[in-house]
Structure 1
Amino acid sequence: MPQFWAGSPELPVSGFIIRAVFVYVYIFVLLKILGQRSIMSLNPIDFLFAVIIGDVLGETLSDGEIRLSGPFSSAGVIAFFHLSLSYIALKTPRFRRIIEDEPIILIKNGKILHEQLRKAKITVESLMMDLRSNNAIDLNQVDYAVLESNGQISVLKKSKYDSLTPADMGQEPESKGYPSVIIQDGHIIDANLSKFADRAWLRKTLADHGFRRAAEIFLLTVDETGKVYISDKESSSIGEP
């Protein structure tokens, strides 16, 4: 059994380095199996999982005497349990309400619900801060404020204070779609370029913006309407046709 795996009081620095690589890859695989999740949308169960996994595997990076098989097995069982809970919650709404907090309405029809604030343990100052971060400085404009299960506060403004949209003006602008990266740090991404045009189009686009080579570009993107964004490596200038 390799020393870095079995552990030893005399584990060399190289053993700790190999352990670090194994732990990193192992956690990476676990996260890929569990699925993609935004850091901002972590619910309490996800947070608990992250803390436990970090504690179980983190000690192996500082204590060379610990055998890796134990922490790896424990982390695998915890990941399986967490995945099972997530799957059951997905399939069973009633069980989902047990492991995930229900949204709490803090402001309804423009009125602050004091009892709900106390229930959520949110001070008025904290509520005001979250409203400001949602661009809702004027309380007279707020219709609803909801504390989501991930701890974020969603704000719905009264209809008359909604921003004017092209649809409100009877216009139907073309969808911009998702911008694709064509050049990144001087390298052309041919897989993305082929979706829009060819190298000849790219050379012309660069020339129109005063560039001769892709190596001069830090980032070039294009959306589905053909709108181009360019940022060069030297002065970070931006160009649009």
Structure 2
Amino acid sequence: MNWSSIFGFSVPVEESIVRGTVTFFVVFVLMRVVGQRESGGLGLTDVLLVVLMSEAAAAGLQGSRISSVSDGTILVATVLFWSVSLDALAYRFPRIAGWVKARPRPLIEDGTLNRKVMLREFMTYDEVMSQLRLHGVDELASVERAYVEPNGMISIIRVPGPSPD
């Protein structure tokens, strides 16, 4: 067994850090552009973290000649560093949170659909109505507000009044 091929670095550490950093931010920006509904029930950074960490660790786990366990570890540590750093910055500085964290988008206001949000999230009228029915709402007029949440779910605030059965 050749221990140096398992734990040695096949590329300089700095290169692994730069590669991990660039990849993290490119995928992060692309996922922000795609929209909130595409990430499912997870937050954007959760999805990004899982995808990048699994890819970074894969080469080291497979015993690739190109990458060692140490290379994969550096990439995983870099991705984790940026994920935690962005979350900490967003927590500490609310202005940065608007750039880093997704915000709820108003889908329905006073019973009226927001077509811009529907277009941005690639939602059809039938999909919106399906989501309303899942919340026990059968008409737009009974919705005061509805939002596409950062995790892709739809939250609904009904018009005040008697609640349905």
Q: Equivalents in 1 of 2:53, 2:154: separation in Å? A: 28
Mapped to 1, the partners of 2:138 and 2:4 lie a distance apart of 56
- The answer on whether the counterparts of 1:49 and 1:78 sit within 8 Å (CA) in structure 2 is yes
Alignment CA distance shift 1:6-1:131 (3 Å): same
Amino acid in the other structure paired with 2:84: L
- Determine the structure 2 residue equivalent to 1:101: 102
Contiguous gaps of at least 5 residues in structure 1 = 8-38, 165-241
State the match for 2:146 in structure 1. 145
Equivalent pairs counted in the alignment come to 133
1:59 and 2:59 matched: yes
Is the 8 Å Cα contact of residues 112 and 140 (structure 2) preserved in structure 1?
Answer: no
Q: Assess, with a 3 A threshold, how the Cα gap between structure 1 residues 56 and 159 changes in structure 2: closer, same or farther.
A: same
Give the match for residue 125 of structure 2: 124
Q: Whose strand proportion is higher, 1 or 2?
A: 1
Shift of residue 4, structure 1, vs aligned partner? 10
Which structure's CA Rg is the greater one? 1
Matched-pair contact (CA < 8 Å) for 1:104–1:120:
no
Q: Distance in 1 between matches of 2:107 and 2:114?
A: 5
Partner of 1:182: none
Corresponding residue SS for 2:116 = helix
Question: In terms of mean alpha carbon deviation, does 136-145 or 87-96 score higher?
Answer: 136-145
Q: Secondary structure at the match of 2:146?
A: strand
Quick one: distance in 2 between partners of 1:63 and 1:131?
49
Let me know the Cα RMSD of the aligned residues.
2.7
User: Contact between 1:142 and 1:157, CA under 8 Å: does it hold in 2?
Assistant: yes
CA distance in 2: counterparts of 1:75 and 1:50, whole angstroms: 10
Would the alpha carbon gap of residues 2 and 119 (structure 1) be closer, same or farther in structure 2, given more than 3 Å must change? same
Q: Spell out, residue by residue over 1:87-126, the C-alpha distance to the aligned partner (whole angstroms, 9 max, x if none).
A: 0100111000001222111111111122332233221122
User: Are the equivalent residues in 2 in contact too, given 1:6–1:67 (CA < 8 A)?
Assistant: yes
Equivalent AA in structure 1 for residue 49 of structure 2: F
1:134/1:155 contact within 8 Å kept: yes
Q: How is 1:21-170 mapped onto 2 (pairs within 5 angstroms)?
A: 41-65=41-65, 66-162=67-163
How far residue 73 of structure 1 moved from its aligned partner, in angstroms, is 1.4
Deviation of the 1:5 alpha carbon? 7.3
Contact 1:45 1:99 in 2 (8 A): no
Aligned partners of 1:48 and 1:82: how far apart in 2? 9
**Contact 2:58 2:72 (8 Å CA) reproduced:** no
Q: Which amino acid aligns with 1:108?
A: E
CA distance in 2: counterparts of 1:126 and 1:2, whole angstroms = 56
Q: AA paired with 2:132?
A: L
Instruction: Give distance in 2, aligned partners of 1:73 and 1:114.
Output: 44
**Residues 6 and 115 from structure 1, CA distance in 2 versus in 1: closer, same or farther, beyond 3 angstroms?**
closer
Instruction: Flag the structure with higher helix content.
Output: 2
1:80 shift after superposition? 1.2
TM-score by length of structure 2 reads 0.68
Asked if the contact 2:6–2:63 (Cα under 8 Å) also holds between the matched residues in 1, the reply is no
Could you list the per-position Cα deviations for residues 42-85 of structure 1 after superposition, in whole angstroms to 9, with x for gaps in the alignment? 22222222211111112333345442011011111210121011
1:145 deviates by 0.9
Residues 185-216 of structure 1: per-residue CA shift (max 9 Å, x gap): xxxxxxxxxxxxxxxxxxxxxxxxxxxxxxxx
